[in-house]
Structure 1
Amino acid sequence: MPDPDIMALQVDRDDDVAVALMPLAPGQMVAIGNREVAIVDAVAPGHKFAVHDISAGSVVRRYRAPIGVATQMIGVGAHVHSHNVQTALRGELAYDYVAKSADAVERPGGGQPGFMGYTRQDGSVGIRNEIWILPSVGCVGRLGERLARWGEALVGAHVDGVHAFNHPFGCSQLGHDLEGTTAILASLAQNPNAGGVLIVGLGCESNQLDLILAQIPLERRARVRTVRAQSEQDEFAAGKAALEALADLMAQDVRQPVSLSGLRLGVKCGGSDAMSGLTANPLIGRIADAVTQAGGMAVLTEIPEMFGAEQLLLARAENKAVFDRLTQVVNRFKRYFLDHGEPVSENPSPGNIAGGITTLEEKSLGAVQKGGLASVVDVIDYGHIATRHGLTILEAPGNDAVSTTALAAAGVTLTLFSTGRGTPLGSPVPTMKIASNSALAAAKPGWIDFDAGMVLTDGMDAAAEALLDRIVAVASGEPTCNERNDERSIGIWKRGVTL
């Protein structure tokens, strides 16, 4: 629980609002800086109240930035939420490039711990040594699941697990939609956590095995096996033989000490509340900075949850080419919404609103903190693999299953997933759930891997040190909650026509 003497937090002294850390009742006096505010309305934990009068039509600021516009006069101490604040987001924007200041965004580095990982032939490092079964088309998804159940007998000293990732796509898709499915599966097959991959095809599908294999480099194909079900008299027996062959290859794989530079970190949020931007997301940002400072990779996605905060990332673009690429991806995603007749501000979700998030700008300003302060070194399309050390922006929607899958396909080996309301969801790679508040961590110990509520009690530095220790343990083999619960699945972004 937070310090009982601290009832609310204001991120910046120029912000128009503060966030309640505990239930506040009308008439209660709350200290904000060197003054006190009398609460007018009941304010639930995670919700906001005005720290001074806000006139109708005025910009409302939190995180030192606009989170919306007041739709009516809001008196000091009044509850500030969706009933009196609305988004100011509209559509595509033009952005002016300003070269990043050389010393504006980097945190100082330092000695960082290493972990025990699996070094692959291409120099990448896995934190698991698993066999992944990927169906080219949904028609053989259940076959893959049957093979995974049989493959449990192969798990032992050198095989950490055998997992099938079913999906309904791969046929009756056209153009870019089909290309996206092919790219995701080909990229998943190259994830360093997969010591062996079995791709199961049907034979007549649009997403032909040869299309997938063509996108996998030759050196990686040595750990890939395929089965075409229509070409086999006994497709299950063929699949078993392929799994046994992969397990034999993986017998040479052993954990070795590697530096933190070998970590490929994905950062994600879901079921957020207003505390996410105060505790869990900036804490994850500290870890992203530690990994990138050490020479590793961090990947930030959920493009629609950058709307209203994209300027913070654009200001950190390593060069104009990266800046232009990020503006293109952001505006392309806005156009995707508009072309479907949807406003770009169709967010936050009902759960987010219940947790105290009022507008998409507010959600985005909290969400982008997961990327820390590192320079943005690259921007990649959906289904592509991150290749540069530093912070990469990945094109994908905010949907939890789709975006965590896109992160795994981008090559991340561990995803840090902040949440204020909780979710059991897991992706192909270990998916550590970071609770934004201690109440959630206490209520859902089977879901939550780390309580970021300690930021309020022990401070950010202590929380970052504790979380990094936990990450090193997970990277060295300790299972996450999603792994213990066997919560592993994929979601593929469906964008086009189905025949």
Structure 2
Amino acid sequence: MSTEQQAGCNIRLTTTPGSADGLEAQLQVLQVHPRDNVLVALQPLPAGAALPEPFAHLTASQAIPAGHKVALQAIAKGQPVIKYGFAIGAASCAIQAGEQVHSHNLTTLLSGQQQYRYQGCEARQPEYPAGLPTEFQGYRRANGKVGTRNELWIINTVGCVNRAASRIAELARKEFADLLAQSSIDGIHAFTHPFGCSQLGDDLSNTRELLAGLIQHPNAGAVLVLGLGCENNQLATLLKSSPDIDASRIRAFNAQQVEDEIEQGLAAVGELLQQMSQDQRTACPVSDLVMGMKCGGSDGLSGLTANALVGRIADLLAAANGKVVLTETPEMFGAEQVFMARASNQQVFDDLVQLVNDFKQYFIDNQQPVYENPSPGNKEGGLTTLEEKSLGAIQKGGSAAVQQVIRYGKTASKAGLTLLEGPGNDAVSSTALTAAGATLLLFTTGRGTPLGFPAPTVKISSNSSLAARKPQWIDFDAGGLLRQGQDATEFSHAFFRYLLEVASGRQTRNEETDNREIAIWKNGVTL
């Protein structure tokens, strides 16, 4: 990986000699940006170890775990600690060169809302490289959108009919097994949830918007919507909230209004499957892809490998006029100015300011500090402050201009990068990305998770040890970027080709293990 500007960070990697057993040489330390006053250990550094050139004048004063930070120079108490070229907090005590920098001597600088000023868009439109594929094999829907899968989805209005929805899916997979085996139908899945009853106001609206987004999703070749009848989330209102649908591919009823909801559901599924069995994949331009970018269980390498790799994919897709959606609003705190400098116009800038300040106020209203992050697992992996986690997390957004800011439950409508309101929670934010129209999810992780969602979920490990330890979870190992001499551009292009294979039908690990679920953001009053 060469020195270059990537997602706002000038990454400089320093190599070490190959190991004695003949394995590929691995990078040992990294200075992310020339302004940084800390290095990142890419491998464990024993106490007393001399660092490689050009840092040979430094010695690790204590053992430094992989992913953790080591001071490049003396940092006085109160002085900023710089990583990615930005402050990730301040020294809570004097730090000596070669000393570990972590929770014991580094503290956040974040507090409440801030004032911002638009100064124009700094981003440049990326160019799509010659030689990369320009098409994938997808399912063109009646509304013009393109799915990467042809699945029948069962969506319920309320948790009271969860078991009925699941039972219909289970029985349908058995009853229609021959049709499934002989056609282009990719599966039958029920996506259940506990909400829809006794919700009020914005909380009910959020549930309805989220479910409406799933009903309209192009990966669903057809949808059975199952209601109860007496819930706040009324079936008729939900369907009116889903205008961008092919009515011939929807069946809906309330369980209270039929004699046997299981029998009625199976009959509806049978009708829909007959229509879906005629669907075929066709060549579609890359511009028809919608990718959602997410990180979960991050470690100290996530922002340097997996997230940076996904950022390159975001730029490739934006260059092809595809859609990229990024969420996890609280994991923008401390790094929001990077996106604001890339707002395509004043309105997008204002929308982003409102999004960030509203989410900070959400924390404040619930008497929680805005910096209550990273998680214990993040900290064990080397992340110390929310600023550090955020600067690593936003690498997934690449370097293209921000074209749109949308609220939770809404659908991305513009080519390029869209920022979506949502919490950092893996299941909630990944479901929101799917409802926003993402037909592929790119999920980076340093610690691993078996989670999967309605859209194919590509798991990208930040380190090779995770990929080797959990091959049933991980689809792609971004730790390969740390191999000596690895060219980041070639690496990202190989990954992009793999993603087009997934878009064209290659299964992900979550599909192979049938890990699929949804989660809805509960942020209001329940009766």
CA 1:213–1:437: 2 relative to 1, 3 Å: same
1:473 equivalent to 2:494? Answer no
Please state how far the C-alpha of 1:31 moved relative to its aligned partner. Answer: 2.3
- From 404, 408, 413, the equivalent of 2:430 is 404
Please point out which of 134, 147, 154 is paired with 1:133: 154
Paired residues for 1:65-464 under 5 Å: 65-101=86-122, 104-111=123-130, 112-113=132-133, 114-153=135-174, 154=176, 155-156=180-181, 157-217=183-243, 219-457=245-483, 458-464=486-492
Secondary structure of residue in 2 paired with 1:366: helix
Letter in 2 for 1:7: Q
Residue 211 of structure 2 aligns with an amino acid whose one-letter code is L
Q: Which amino acid aligns with 1:13?
A: P
RMSD of aligned Cα (Å)? 1.3
C-alpha deviation, 1:240, in angstroms: 0.5
| Structure 2: distance between partners of 1:441 and 1:224 | 40
Match of 1:17 in 2: 38
Query: 1:8, 1:32 within 8 Å by CA — same for their partners in 2?
Result: no
Relative to 1, partners in 2 of residues 1:405 and 1:218: Cα closer, same or farther, differing over 3 Å?
closer
Deviation at 1:218, TM superposition (A): 6.0
Judging changes above 3 Å, is the alpha-carbon distance between structure 1 residues 55 and 32 closer, same or farther for their aligned structure 2 residues? farther
TM-score, reference length from structure 1: 0.98
Number of residue-to-residue matches in the alignment: 497
The one-character-per-residue Cα deviations of 1:200-238 (angstroms, maximum 9, x if unpaired) are 000011100011101112643331111210000011111
Per mean C-alpha deviation after superposition, the further-off stretch among 151-160 and 36-45 is 151-160
Deviation at 1:497, TM superposition (A): 1.1
**Preserved CA contact (<8 Å) 1:166 1:490:** yes
Identity %: 52
Distance 1:271 1:34 in 2: 30
* 1:430, distance to aligned residue in structure 2 (A): 0.5
1:44 matched residue in structure 2:
65
TM (norm. structure 2) is: 0.92
Aligned to 1:283, the other structure's residue is in SS state: helix
SS, match of residue 7 in structure 1: strand
TM-fit CA distance, 1:94: 0.8
Given that residues 172 and 266 in structure 2 are in contact (C-alpha distance below 8 angstroms), is that contact kept between their aligned partners in structure 1? yes
Q: Cα distance, 1:4 vs. partner?
A: 4.1
For 2:329 and 2:337, how far apart are their aligned partners in 1? 13
Secondary structure of 2:51 counterpart: strand
Q: Could you tell me whether the CA contact under 8 Å between 1:289 and 1:372 is conserved in 2?
A: yes
CA distance in 2, matches of 1:383, 1:218: 14
Unaligned runs of 5+ in 1: none
Gaps of 5+ in 2: 1-18
Structure 1 position 158, deviation (Å): 2.4
Q: C-alpha distance in 1, partners of 2:217/2:318?
A: 19
Deviation at 1:6, TM superposition (A): 3.2
Equivalents in 2 of 1:20, 1:119: separation in Å?
Answer: 47
2:516 to 484, 488, 492: 488
The reply to whether residue 61 of structure 1 matches residue 96 of structure 2 is no
CA distance in 1, matches of 2:507, 2:34: 41
Distance 2:30 2:438 in 1: 34
Shift in Å at residue 12 of structure 1? 1.4
TM-superposed deviation, 1:32: 5.2
Deviations 1:36-62 (A, max 9, x none): 311101100001100100000001000
Secondary structure at the residue paired with 1:222?
helix
Q: Give the whole-Å Cα distance in 2 for the aligned partners of 1:20 and 1:388.
A: 39
Which amino acid is the alignment partner of residue 141 of structure 2?
Answer: R
In 2, Cα distance between equivalents of 1:21 and 1:36: 18
Per-residue deviation at 1:35? 4.5
CA distance in 2, matches of 1:118, 1:294: 19
> For residues 73-128 of structure 1, what are the alpha-carbon distances to aligned partners after superposition, in whole Å with 9 as ceiling and x for unaligned?
00000000011001000011110011114xx4433322431211001111111000
* Inter-partner Cα distance in structure 1 for 2:265 and 2:53: 64
